[in-house]
């Protein structure tokens, strides 16, 4: 009973440490990505939560007016949008999502690293009759569509048949973080990254133009031009956008995200401490119950050195079981995305377990080593306090 | 005859916050291999403390103790544990069994801590349980056994490593006549067959059965109420 309660308590503290470590690693990954986008002089657009939104009322002319304004006022912008599902046969039978980005976004965001092939280029010829676009594809598609191969597909944004030429293969587990929830991210193992140039944008449907505005990043521009853009969007689309400066974005992250991360860390530390104290108390209770048994063992040849080794072995086994269970839970969660064919979250690794998971497991291992040493040494100290003596048995 | 024990205690002190108790003052004991000794004294004079010292459980006293020709103060904790495992057998009271283990596991407990190569002691296991007549209870837990059975199990555990020295802590205190005789017979058999040195402590010198037992010993030491000096060395011949 005591063994199971100690095992359960240790597992709970391990799970808390794992979640906190994983969330912290993921947040810092998101923060590093955000730092590339959120540079001084850049404004990041965000649809005001109170803005009315009626997609049906917005047509292509309206959105084109916005992009014309950007062009006429020499406002450079980084555009990125994704999540457009396309049926594209592949070895894993996964749904494929198309991601669209323009050259500025590609240069600004360093996430889309390739393992094979060449970087994207954007000055391809956009001929309405025979469109061949160089693309990057995720690792999960590379078996079916190797480097240099072409894919004929109806593009959801152009709404016509186009040819995609595989220009490069993305590194495994390339991700993009949610700017407003840094620890949540999606993966591009089953994505096609399509370069958007001016001709592509002008020929695309309202969908791409509108979606592109939602997270558009305006580069090195002035407050006046932003106010003008704000007005154009309101007039043409009936939408209210906020454009946040670098300072405002950092303020947001510090105010909401990092403060909540701090709270999570403090809560984790407090809960872990409580669980550890209960574990130590529980272990000491078992020592009290078993002091006669320990004494008999010490009588017949057990030494404190061996006892220390036995305790370390015992807690080593408990911690190993916990780590295995944590690994199984993580693998189940990661591998579950493969079973559910959830392309945006499917990752490559041992059962889908990726770097941040291994780092979190490493953090748990480090935590376990510290806690193990504390528990074992306290238990030995307690046992040594009762001298080996015939008196104990009497 | 080889001298295996040379103990000279100037003073053993128990301290607490409020009191200081000094026992075993100027206590000397020399024992040769193969001797059978009884230490007799009333409760509180230090018999158990003496067994703790003899059994390498307590080194916190003023004096010296040479066992098997080695100064015990020079031994480290692991060596002490090894000696308790290899050279000393403790015949304790019947309650000194681990209730969560079977009788067989209790008897084999010292083998767990034996050095590699000592596992041939397993061969002795069969002969020991035959002599002690406990085959039928090997799979039982101590709580399922009688007091006499448990005493024999404690004895079996003490001799499984064939120790050179057996220390007995009132081994027959709670036993009836038959069981008491059986344990004493086994002790003497060990002594005769393997030249094992046996030291036992008891407080009940007036008991006829104990005196019968002591009459079979080479010597006894009586101290406390049985002596005018602090310790008396009396060969019973």
Quick: pLDDT tens for A323-338.
Answer: 999 999 999 999 999 9
| Residue B237, min C-alpha distance to chain A (Å) | 31
The answer to whether the predicted template modeling score (pTM) of the entire model surpasses 0.95 is no
A96 and A210 together in one domain:
yes
A161 and A307 together in one domain:
no
Taking the C-alpha atoms of residue B170 and residue B221, their distance in angstroms, rounded to an integer, is: 15
Query: Which of A198, A221, A244 corresponds to the end of one domain?
Result: A244
Pairwise CB contact (< 8 Å): A306 & B98: no
Give me the pLDDT at residue B230, please: 36
A169 and A277 together in one domain:
no
User: Could you tell me which residues are beta bridge partners of residue A137?
Assistant: A169, A192
Q: Does A297 touch chain B (CB under 8 A)?
A: yes
Q: Does B95 touch chain A (CB under 8 A)?
A: yes
Determine the straight-line distance between the first and last CA of chain B, rounded to whole angstroms: 18
Q: A194 burial class (0-12, 13-18, 19+ CB within 10 angstroms)?
A: buried
Q: Does B75 touch chain A (CB under 8 A)?
A: no
A232 and A160 together in one domain:
yes
User: Which tokens sit at A37?
Assistant: 């986008």
For β-strands A80-86 and B197-202, DSSP reports them as unpaired
For chain A, how many structural domains are there in total? 2
Q: Please give the distance of CA A276 from its chain centroid, rounded to a whole number.
A: 29
Q: Which residues of chain B have pLDDT under 50?
A: 206-216, 218-219, 223-237
Give me the pLDDT at residue B220, please: 52
Taking the C-alpha atoms of residue A355 and residue A268, their distance in angstroms, rounded to an integer, is: 22
Pairwise CB contact (< 8 Å): A293 & B98: yes
- The B residues from 21 to 50 touching A (CB cutoff 8 Å) are 48
A265 and A331 together in one domain:
yes
Pairwise CB contact (< 8 Å): B52 & A390: yes
The counts of H helices and E strands in chain A are: 11, 13
DSSP string over A295-313: HHHHHTT--HHHHHHHHHH
Give me the pLDDT at residue B223, please: 45
A224 and A305 together in one domain:
no
Give the Cα-Cα-Cα angle A187, A146, A356 (nearest 5 degrees).
25
| Residue B24, min C-alpha distance to chain A (Å) | 17
Task: Among A295, A300, A307, A313, pick the best mutation site for testing chain B contact (most B Cβ within 10 A).
Answer: A300
**Structural domain includes residue A20:** yes
**Structural domain includes residue A252:** no
Q: Does B76 touch chain A (CB under 8 A)?
A: no
In the three-class reduction of DSSP (H, G, I as helix; E, B as strand; rest coil), residue A325 is classed as helix
Taking the C-alpha atoms of residue A41 and residue A43, their distance in angstroms, rounded to an integer, is: 7
Please, where are the H alpha helices in A300-354?
Answer: 304-339
Residues 6+ apart with CB under 8 A from A208: A81, A100, A157, A196, A201
Give me the residue label for tokens 């300072």.
Answer: A247
Query: Which of A218, A244, A270 corresponds to the end of one domain?
Result: A244
A65 and A86 together in one domain:
yes
**Structural domain includes residue A253:** no
Q: Which residues of chain A have pLDDT under 70?
A: 1-3, 55, 128, 392, 394
Instruction: Provide the number of CB pairs (under 8 Å) joining chain A to chain B.
Output: 75
A333 and A211 together in one domain:
no
Please count the other Cβ atoms lying within 10 Å of the Cβ belonging to residue A31.
17
**Structural domain includes residue A14:** yes
pLDDT in tens, A343-372: 889 999 998 899 999 999 999 999 999 999
A279 and A332 together in one domain:
yes
Q: Does A301 touch chain B (CB under 8 A)?
A: yes
**Structural domain includes residue A227:** yes
Pairwise CB contact (< 8 Å): B81 & A393: no
**Structural domain includes residue A251:** no
Taking the C-alpha atoms of residue A27 and residue A21, their distance in angstroms, rounded to an integer, is: 10
**Structural domain includes residue A37:** no
Pairwise CB contact (< 8 Å): B92 & A297: no
| Residue B52, min C-alpha distance to chain A (Å) | 6
Q: A160 burial class (0-12, 13-18, 19+ CB within 10 angstroms)?
A: exposed
| Residue A92, min C-alpha distance to chain B (Å) | 54
The candidate with the shortest Cα–Cα distance to A172, out of A88, A114, A86, A89, is A114
Query: Which of A244, A277, A304 corresponds to the end of one domain?
Result: A244
Pairwise CB contact (< 8 Å): B109 & A390: no
User: Which tokens sit at A393?
Assistant: 């048995």
Q: Does A300 touch chain B (CB under 8 A)?
A: yes
Taking the C-alpha atoms of residue A45 and residue A216, their distance in angstroms, rounded to an integer, is: 5
User: Which tokens sit at A341?
Assistant: 């064919």
Check if the beta carbon of residue B66 is closer than 8 Å to that of residue B72: yes
A202 and A69 together in one domain:
yes
Instruction: Give me the domain span that covers residue A149.
Output: 42-244
**Structural domain includes residue A358:** yes
Please, where are the H alpha helices in A142-222?
Answer: 198-203, 206-214
In the three-class reduction of DSSP (H, G, I as helix; E, B as strand; rest coil), residue B189 is classed as helix
A142 and A278 together in one domain:
no
A206 and A291 together in one domain:
no
């Amino acid at each position: 009973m005591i063994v199971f309660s100690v095992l359960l308590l240790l597992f709970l503290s391990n799970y808390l440490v794992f979640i906190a470590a994983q969330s912290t690693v993921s947040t810092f990954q998101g923060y590093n990505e955000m730092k590339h986008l959120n540079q001084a002089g850049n404004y990041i657009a965000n649809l005001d939560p109170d803005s009315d939104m009626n997609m049906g009322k917005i047509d292509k002319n309206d959105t084109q007016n916005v992009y014309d304004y950007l062009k006429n006022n020499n406002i450079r912008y980084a555009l990125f949008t994704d999540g457009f599902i396309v049926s594209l046969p592949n070895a894993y039978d996964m749904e494929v999502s198309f991601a669209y980005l323009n050259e500025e976004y590609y240069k600004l965001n360093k996430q889309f690293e390739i393992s094979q092939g060449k970087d994207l280029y954007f000055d391809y010829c956009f001929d309405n009759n025979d469109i061949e676009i160089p693309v990057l594809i995720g690792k999960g598609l590379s078996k079916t569509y190797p480097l240099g191969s072409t894919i004929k597909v109806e593009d959801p944004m152009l709404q016509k048949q186009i040819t995609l030429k595989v220009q490069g293969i993305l590194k495994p587990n390339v991700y993009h973080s949610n700017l407003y929830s840094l620890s949540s991210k999606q993966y591009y193992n089953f994505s096609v990254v399509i370069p958007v140039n001016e001709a592509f944008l002008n020929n695309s449907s309202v969908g791409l133009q509108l979606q592109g505005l939602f997270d558009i990043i305006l580069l090195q521009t002035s407050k006046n031009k932003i106010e003008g853009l704000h007005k154009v969007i309101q007039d043409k689309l009936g939408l209210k956008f906020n454009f946040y400066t670098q300072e405002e974005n950092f303020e947001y992250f510090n105010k909401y995200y990092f403060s909540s991360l701090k709270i999570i860390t403090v809560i984790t530390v407090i809960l872990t401490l409580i669980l550890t104290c209960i574990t130590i108390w529980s272990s000491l209770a078992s020592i009290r119950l078993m002091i006669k048994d320990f004494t008999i063992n010490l009588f017949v040849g057990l030494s404190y050195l061996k006892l220390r080794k036995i305790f370390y072995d015992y807690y080593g086994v408990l911690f190993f079981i916990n780590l295995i269970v944590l690994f199984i839970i993580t693998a189940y969660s990661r591998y579950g995305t493969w079973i559910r064919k959830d392309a945006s979250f499917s990752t490559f690794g041992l059962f889908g377990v990726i770097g941040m998971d291994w780092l979190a497991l490493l953090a748990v291992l480090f935590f376990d080593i510290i806690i193990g040493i504390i528990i074992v040494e306290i238990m030995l100290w307690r046992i040594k306090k009762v001298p080996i003596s015939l008196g104990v048995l009497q | 005859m080889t001298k295996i024990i040379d103990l000279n205690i100037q003073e053993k002190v128990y301290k607490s916050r409020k009191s200081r108790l000094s026992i075993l003052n100027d206590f000397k004991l020399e024992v040769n291999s193969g001797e059978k000794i009884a230490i007799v004294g009333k409760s509180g004079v230090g018999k158990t403390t003496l067994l703790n010292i003899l059994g390498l459980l307590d080194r916190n006293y003023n004096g010296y103790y040479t066992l098997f020709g080695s100064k015990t103060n020079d031994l480290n904790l692991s060596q002490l544990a090894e000696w308790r495992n290899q050279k000393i057998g403790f015949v304790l009271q019947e309650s000194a069994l681990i209730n969560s283990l079977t009788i067989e596991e209790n008897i084999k407990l010292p083998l767990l801590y034996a050095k590699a190569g000592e596992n041939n002691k397993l061969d002795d296991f069969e002969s020991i349980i035959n002599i002690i007549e406990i085959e039928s209870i090997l799979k039982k837990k101590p709580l399922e056994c009688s007091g006499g059975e448990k005493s024999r199990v404690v004895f079996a555990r003490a001799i499984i490593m064939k120790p050179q020295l057996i220390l007995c802590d009132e081994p027959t205190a709670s036993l009836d006549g038959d069981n008491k005789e059986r344990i004493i017979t086994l002790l003497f058999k060990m002594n005769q067959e393997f030249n094992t040195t046996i030291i036992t402590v008891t407080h009940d010198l007036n008991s006829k059965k104990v005196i019968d037992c002591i009459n079979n010993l080479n010597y006894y030491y009586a101290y406390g109420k049985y002596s005018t000096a602090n310790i008396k060395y009396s060969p019973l011949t």
